[in-house]
Amino acid sequence: MFDLAGSWVWDFWFADDGDRYHLFFLYASRALHDPDARHYRASIGHAVSDDLVTWTQVADALVRSDSGAFDDLATWTGSTVRADDGTWHLFYTGSTLADGGKNVQRIGHATSPDLAVWTKIPGPVLSAAAPWYETLHSGDWHDEAFRDPWVFRDPEGDGWHMLITARAPEGPVLGRGVVGHAWSADLASWELRAPLSAPSADGFGQLEVMQAEVVDGRAVLLFSCLAEHSTPSRQSARAGTWAVPAPGVLGPFDIESAQPLTDDTLYVGRLLRRRDDGQWLLFAFRNADESGRFLGGVTDPVPVGWVGDRFVVTG
C-alpha cells in the first residue's frame, strides 16, 4: 500500500514509461485535522515503483496556481498520456471558488519531457457549457461538476478522447451524472462533444474518476459514486466503485447497467495492466473504516476480470 504518515492520500492515476510505473496522487497535510478540508488543499504528488507494491515518493507534479487562476484553489484528479513525439501530457482538474463560495471545476493541461518536471499550459482547455452540460447557474448541485479527465487514444487512430465527470442540465437531480466527452487531434486544442451516456432515474448524481479499458477483449467503464450522491434505487448497494459493461471504450454507456465492483470502504477504483504478464489489476484508496472515519492511502493491487457478464475482483 502507498500512504504518507503526514498527509492524507486519495484520488490517483498511473503512467508507465516502460521501465517504471508512476503513481500520481492527491494529497493534503494531516495538520488540517479535518479530512473533509483536504479537498481545498490538494496538490498532485508523484511516486515511482518497479513492482506496483513498493513505492518511492519523488518531487510533486503540480500545485495550485496564484489567486485569480482557474486552479487557484486546488489541483485535482487527472490522467497522463504520452504523445508520439515523446512528450508527456498531464490533464487535471483545476478548482476555484465562484461568488457564493461554490466550487467551479475546469480542465487544465501540463506537459513534461520526463514525467518529473511539469509546465502548466496557461488557462483551462475545457469548461462545462450548454447545451450538453450543467453549469453552476442551475443551482441544482453543490458545485459545477466538470472534472477528472480520462484521456486516451482513439481506437481507430483518429486523435484523442477525454471522458469527463459532468452533469446533464435536465433529468432527476440525483441522476444527472453523465460521461462527458471531448475530442482532440493534437492534445492541445479540445472540442467539447455530447455526453456518451444519458441521465437516469436509476443513475447517479456524479460519475467520479472514470476510466474505460478493454479487458480480456471486452470494454468496461469504471466510475465511483457513494450512496449520498446516488438515486434512491442505488443507495442500498453501499458501493464505492461501479463497473459498466460497454460495446467499446467510447460507449455508448448504459449507466443503468452499472454493477458494484467494490463496497464503500474503497473508492476510486483504477485499472492498470501489469507489464510483465498482461494481468489487469485493480487499485483503490481506502475510503473509510468500520466507524466511517476517513483513512486514505492507495491499496496494493488485486486481479480483476470477467465472470460471465460481470466485471469482478478475481483474486
Q: What digits encode the pLDDT tens for the residues 76-134?
A: 999 999 999 999 999 999 999 998 889 999 999 999 999 999 999 999 999 999 999 99
Q: What digits encode the pLDDT tens for the residues 185-233?
A: 999 999 999 999 999 999 999 999 999 999 999 999 999 999 999 999 9
Average pLDDT over residues 290-314: 97
How high is the pLDDT of residue 315?
85
Long-range contacts of 29-37, Cβ-Cβ distance < 8 Å, separation of 24 or more? 30/6, 31/6, 35/8, 35/294, 35/296, 36/294
What strands lie across the sheet with 302-307, from one edge to the other?
266-273, 280-286, 302-307, 310-313
How high is the pLDDT of residue 241?
98
From 308, 170, 196, 182, select the one nearest 255 (Cα to Cα).
196
Sorted by where each starts, the structural domains of the chain and their CATH numbers stand as 7-313 (2.115.10.20)
